[in-house]
Amino acid sequence: MTIAGTMLKEALLIGVVIYACSIFGIYTAPPGVLAAFWPANAVLLGLLVRRDHPPGLAHWLAAAAGYMLASLYMDHGWAKSVMLACTNMLGVAVGHILLARLDEAHQGLRHPRSMMRFLLVVVGASAAAGVSGIFVNPVLFGGSHAYGFAFWFCTELVSYIAILPVMLTLPDARRWLKDHRRRADWPQWRLEYLAPLAAFAGSLWLGTQLGGPGAIAYPVPAMLWCALSYSLFATAGITLLFSMWTLLAIASGTLVLGASVDSPQAIMSLRVGVTLTALAPLTVASVMVARNELLERLKYAASHDHLTQVLNRSGFMLRADGLLTTPHLLRRPVAVLMMDIDHFKKVNDSYGHAAGDVVLKEFAAIAQGCLRAGDLLGRLGGEEFAVLLPGCVPEDARLIAQRICDAVARHGMPVGDGQLLNCTVSIGVYSEPQVATPIETMLSAADAALYRAKEAGRNRVMLS
């Protein structure tokens, strides 16, 4: 599809979504007053920020059309519809300017301080809508300027805090499916993973049974547990559920606070208070994401060779040990290869250490290209590499080793100044009909075969 076609499709989608959200908001409003829950602006801001490129005029026009059509459909008249649409768009535009200034990690709420920045953004966006409310409220609803600001500000703040985190952390569907299809632990999903969610539901129910002003905060510990256990997106969904449920349960009398919440000030204070409560679990979830990403990076750095990006010695040994004790591999054949680039010292001496590094990287890439997805390749040190071939019969192991040997000999290694150097590799192979020996012993046997390959003139495969 052309760029213009994609833009048009996106703009159309935005228009339809904003129309639907506006109709929903209008239907939840008591007659003659402004909607108390208005999801359209938070949804629009989320949609615009999640795009890869800044929104164009078509996106803004489509959103404006969505607001206008919904308002006209509800018989608001042209003047009122234009004023309301302008107020909505102003808040979203300010929110977009502020949110676009944050880096990607903060936009995705994946940094310990993200929620603080998020709060500043939504306060800014809500204040912009509030300023518009100062002018619009007396004209449309006959209320005061101050009430216009306060009402618009609070309504916007509540919906931004409740909805926007869900929009910002919504996983990319294609990437999510790819990750979860690959995940080895997917079938081991257990019932106890539901415990934090059950505690959350239980605490909501307990609140309805015990009542009183403190009942609002009963779900906080369960939400913190959810934040420590689930993804950021799931936590955002749970906090949205909490805000919606609490406000609806109070309005319908299911949750009895025991204090009168009937003045406009008290209602606004309650709505803002409930939504602000959700910031604590969201902050914990953001800290968890940052911590988990850091742990992943550290784990990768500790188990991989920084030059070739294949496993380092300890990473290889650990993964090999794990593989060799996997129940379904226990009765299957296994093979290991020990590989050593021939006369590598000469490469360093003749072309320099940097050229030697390039040869190591190229070699690792060639070897990796000759292996299957389940095989392990590691750099044990210097110019010495090892491969573990689970489920591989001796003849196949020899063929794979020969394939690597031939591929290396064929490949011209770029060693600078446009020069291509033909390197060779010697490989020792050790195989077992079924897993019986520890990885260290298998590597020693393959190493002995490698030594014989070097002795026999290099650039060859030798079986142990």
Ligand X SMILES: Nc1nc2c(ncn2[C@@H]2O[C@H](COP(=O)(O)OP(=O)(O)OP(=O)(O)O)[C@@H](O)[C@H]2O)c(=O)[nH]1
Residues that bind ligand X (CB under 6 A): 307, 340-345, 348, 353, 356-357, 360, 382-383, 454, 458
For 388, other C-beta atoms within 10 Å of its C-beta total: 25
On the 0-12 / 13-18 / 19+ scale of CB atoms within 10 A, 208 is middle
Least distance from C-beta 41 to ligand X, angstroms?
Answer: 56
Q: Which residue, 341 or 446, has its beta carbon nearer to ligand X?
A: 341
Q: Which residue, 222 or 413, has its beta carbon nearer to ligand X?
A: 413
End-to-end CA distance of the chain: give it in Å, rounded.
57
Q: Which residue, 375 or 383, has its beta carbon nearer to ligand X?
A: 383
Q: Which residue, 156 or 340, has its beta carbon nearer to ligand X?
A: 340
Q: Which residue, 231 or 348, has its beta carbon nearer to ligand X?
A: 348
Residue of closest CB approach to ligand X? 356
Least distance from C-beta 341 to ligand X, angstroms?
Answer: 6
Tokens found for residue 331: 């009765």
On the 0-12 / 13-18 / 19+ scale of CB atoms within 10 A, 119 is middle
Q: Which residue, 117 or 379, has its beta carbon nearer to ligand X?
A: 379
Which of 232, 376, 234, 373 minimizes the C-alpha distance to 293?
Answer: 232
Least distance from C-beta 376 to ligand X, angstroms?
Answer: 20
Q: Which residue, 36 or 461, has its beta carbon nearer to ligand X?
A: 461
